[in-house]
A and B are shown apart, each in its own frame.
Chain A
Amino acid sequence: VATRQDHAEVIRPDFAVAIRPGEHACCRFAHADDRRRLAFAFVRAGLDRGHRVVYLNDEDDASEFVADLAATDDRVHEALDRGQFEVRSASGAYVPDGTFSPAQVRDALRDERARALADGYPGLSMAGDMAWALGLAPGLDSLVAYEHGVAAIMEDDPTLAFVCIYDHGRFGAGMLAELVDSHGVDVSPELAPVGRVGYLAASRVLPGPTLRLCGELDFGCTEALGGVLDAHYHGTLRLDLADLAYVDVAGLRALRGKKGQPVTITAASRPVRSLMALLGWDTDPGIEIAEAAA
């Protein structure tokens, strides 16, 4: 009996992100760790797509962020060296001369994408931390106008993936309620436990919302996911499972919660479709599978 030591690899933290190219996403986080996890995952997903990746933020120490990110991904330093990846000051980008001009920032985003394309990248993945806007007075109106302006230039164009990161505690639910609606996708704070364990991420696709899961939904993730569903989702759950690369029996069953809640599957990847068939979900009266997911 031979033992293959050569397959013993260093296990690195790896996180999924449930945001697709062409989407303008809102990430509302309650813990700094969750913001960092999303930023790591978003940067790495952008590099996977070959995009230019820009992270705008004042909250993390840039060199510390880069060092920690590089520890999870060998490509990071090379990407920085060749200008594919940049970490920049958020306030420098959003309020370059001390005042916030929604139209100016929106145009700057459009220019940034044009530059990425001109430099030969298939697109731009950009994440911006919005903590700078806490200093805006009165602020909210111009911020809402800005977010709508960004939504208007996105148009599902896969050359741009853009995430606005809001600190849920500091902005407050009331202020964010209005802002969330201008985004196509929302990574809301109650979803944060999904993905703290395992390679799985969740987001709400707006309007609707539909719960989207991305990554690998396995036995190890079921407790966290089940907890979120039981606490926050009641009645029929709409699910977009097109981005699940792997699913096992325990994972699929966790989607119906402890009580076997009714679900509507709006989209499903091939692994999800084949497991649903093996478990007889196609004829379960509590499960509706949209044509696109069958």
Chain B
Amino acid sequence: MSCDSVHHELLVYDSDEEYAEALVPYFEAGLDEREALVAVPGRATEPVLRDALGATSERVEFYVGEDWYTRPEAALAGYDAAVRTFVREGAVGVRVAAELPPCSSQDEWDAWLRYEAIVNRAFADRPVTLVCTCDSRVVPGHVMNDMLSTHPHLLSDGLHDNPDYHDPAEVVRRLAPALDPLPELHDVAAAGDGRALRGALWRELADAGIAPDQADAMVLAASEVVVNATRHGGGVRTLRVGGGDGAFVCEVSDAGGGLDDPLAGYIPPSAPAGNGAGLWVARQLTRRLDLIPAPEGGLTVRLWA
């Protein structure tokens, strides 16, 4: 499946020279076009890039990878805000070169590979060009294969269509985390208005020892999911919570038609394709959010504080 409307390119390199030779013309092309230029290089490549760019590096905003790539949801929101801000300030587009910090586990790699797939939808039809750089000496071979499946274009002696590119939803489904076994959850009465529901959730969160800021975030996230269930899912069937030792899980189940879109809530609401702002907010405010379609219909949304 193609996704022509997003400029999301992969540069695989195995030397500083190869890295610099590709990125210098990439950034210099943006200078003529009045584009904003952003680099999120790896630790090792940052000095290489600055050096190779020479005076042009003054025009490039450098972000620190470890601060930028804390979690996929934050990186999506960060790029969204950066693009919106640069465009508002008059840039015709934004040109990014970025490198994911190396991951320490397969789960972590999977999360960032899902992110790479989501980027194709999250930034479709927006004035942004993203080159992801991958050092083949560092990134494991099987991760590199998945990297290939998440980038529609390859930057290597010019720009090419990538025959190994896959549909983002398919990639996100394939790399989805296993649904962890849950601590015992108990029912919370979901009757009454929004205020009654929030009150009940706040008490549960306080009982579980969740800090107030984090509790506020969970209450809003869960409330958005409840609003979705009310609007689209025929109402909340069950609301279950559980937690302790600073952790908290909330599950909202409805009996509606289900939701068969693993990318729901990952697309910024201000984007042309933006919808599901409630789920976007819920993903931004929680540590993790799982969409679990029930085989018999209906949807369970599991939120983790």
Chain A interface residues (CB < 8 Å from chain B): 1-4, 7-9, 11, 14, 198-199, 216, 218-220, 246, 248-250, 253, 271, 275, 277-280, 282-285
B193 within 8 A of A: yes
The answer to whether A198 and B188 touch (CB under 8 A), given A279-B277, A280-B80, is no
Q: B224 near A198 (CB under 8 angstroms)?
A: no
Main secondary structure of the interface of B (DSSP, over half): helix
Distance, CA A7 to CA B203, complexed state (A): 8
| From B186, B200, B277, residue with most partner A Cβ within 10 Å | B277
B227 contacts partner chain A, Cβ-Cβ < 8 Å:
yes
- Whether the pair B269, A7 counts as a contact (CB closer than 8 A) is no
**Chain B, residue nearest A222 (CB):** B227
Known A-B contacts A7-B203, A218-B223, A249-B224; the reply to A280 vs B269 at CB < 8 A is yes
**Bound complex: CA of A165 vs CA of B189, how far in Å?**
39
CA distance A277 to B189 in the complex (A): 31
B185 at the A interface (CB under 8 A): yes
- Contact across chains for A11 and B270 when beta carbons are under 8 A apart: no
Chain A contacts for B204, CB-based, 8 A: 7
Q: Evaluate contact between A248 and B223: CB separation under 8 angstroms.
A: yes
Is residue B194 contacting chain A, with contact meaning CB distance below 8 A? Answer: yes
**Nearest CB on B from A109, distance (A):** 35
Given contacts A1-B187, A248-B224, A275-B220, 13 further A-B contacts (CB under 8 A): A1-B240, A2-B186, A3-B187, A7-B200, A216-B198, A218-B223, A219-B194, A219-B230, A248-B220, A275-B281, A278-B77, A278-B284, A279-B281
A3: B residues at CB distance < 8 A = 186-187
How many angstroms from the CA of A184 to the CA of B1 in the assembled complex? Answer: 61
Q: 22 A-B contacts, Cβ less than 8 Å apart?
A: A1-B185, A1-B240, A11-B193, A198-B194, A218-B223, A219-B194, A248-B227, A248-B278, A249-B277, A249-B278, A253-B277, A275-B281, A278-B77, A278-B280, A278-B281, A279-B270, A279-B277, A282-B81, A283-B85, A283-B87, A283-B270, A284-B270
Nearest residue, chain B, Cβ from A248: B223
Instruction: Give Cα A285–Cα B84 distance, bound, in whole angstroms.
Output: 11
The answer, yes or no, to whether B92 is at the interface (CB within 8 Å) is no
B223's nearest neighbour on chain A, judged by CB, is A248
By a CB distance below 8 angstroms, the chain A residues around B227 are: 219, 248-250
B189 and chain A: residue at smallest CB distance? A8
Contacts of A7 in B (CB 8 A): 188-189, 200, 203-204
User: In the complex, what residues of B have CB within 8 A of residue A9's CB?
Assistant: 196, 199
Considering only residues 191-222 of chain B, those with a C-beta below 8 Å from chain A are 192-196, 198-200, 203-204, 216, 220
Find chain A residues with CB under 8 A from B220 CB: 246, 248, 271, 275
> B268 at the A/B interface (Cβ < 8 Å)?
yes
Interface check B142, CB cutoff 8 A:
no
**For A246, what are the chain B residues with a Cβ–Cβ distance below 8 Å?**
198, 220
Which residues of B lie under 8 Å from residue A220 when comparing CB positions? 193-194
Q: Tell me which residues across on chain B come within 8 A of A280, comparing CB atoms.
A: 80-81, 84, 268-270
How long is the Cα–Cα vector from A284 to B84 in the complex, in angstroms? 9
CB neighbours (8 Å) of A253 from chain B are 277
- Interface presence of B88 (CB below 8 A): yes
Q: Which of B77, B87, B188, B269 contacts A4 (CB 8 A)?
A: B188
Q: Closest CB-CB distance, A213 to chain B, in whole Å?
A: 15
Q: Does B296 contact A (CB under 8 A)?
A: no
Residues of chain B with a CB closer than 8 A to A275's CB:
220, 281
Q: Taking the complex as formed, is B184 at the interface, i.e. its CB lies under 8 A from any CB of chain A?
A: yes
Per the bound structure, the CA–CA distance linking A250 and B87 in Å amounts to 26
Interface contact A271-B216, CB-CB below 8 Å: yes
Q: B195: shortest Cβ distance to chain A, in Å?
A: 5
Q: For the complex formed, measure the closest distance between the CB of B236 and the CB atoms of chain A, giving whole angstroms.
A: 13
**Complex interface: chain B residues within 8 A of A4 (CB):** 186-188
Closest A residue, CB atoms, query B186:
A2
Q: A84 → chain B, closest Cβ, in Å?
A: 26
Chain A residues with CB below 8 A from B77, complex form: 278
Contact between A218 and B194, CB atoms less than 8 A apart:
yes
Return chain B residues, CB-CB under 8 Å to A282: 81, 84-85
B83-115 interface code vs A (CB 8 A; 1 in, 0 out)? 011011000000000000000000000000000
Hey, which chain B residues are within 8 Å of A278, CB to CB? 77, 280-281, 284-285
Knowing A280-B84, A280-B269, the reply to whether A11 touches B277 (Cβ < 8 A) is: no
Residue among A14, A219, A253 with the highest chain B CB neighbour number at 10 A: A219
When chains A and B are docked, how far (Å) is the Cα of A284 from the Cα of B284? 19
- Would you call A283 and B88 a contact (CB within 8 A)? yes
User: How far apart are the CA atoms of A36 and B194 in the complex, in Å?
Assistant: 23
Q: Is the CB of A1 within 8 A of B184?
A: yes
CB distance from A253 to the nearest CB of B (A): 8
How far apart are A150's CB and chain B's nearest CB, in angstroms? Answer: 34
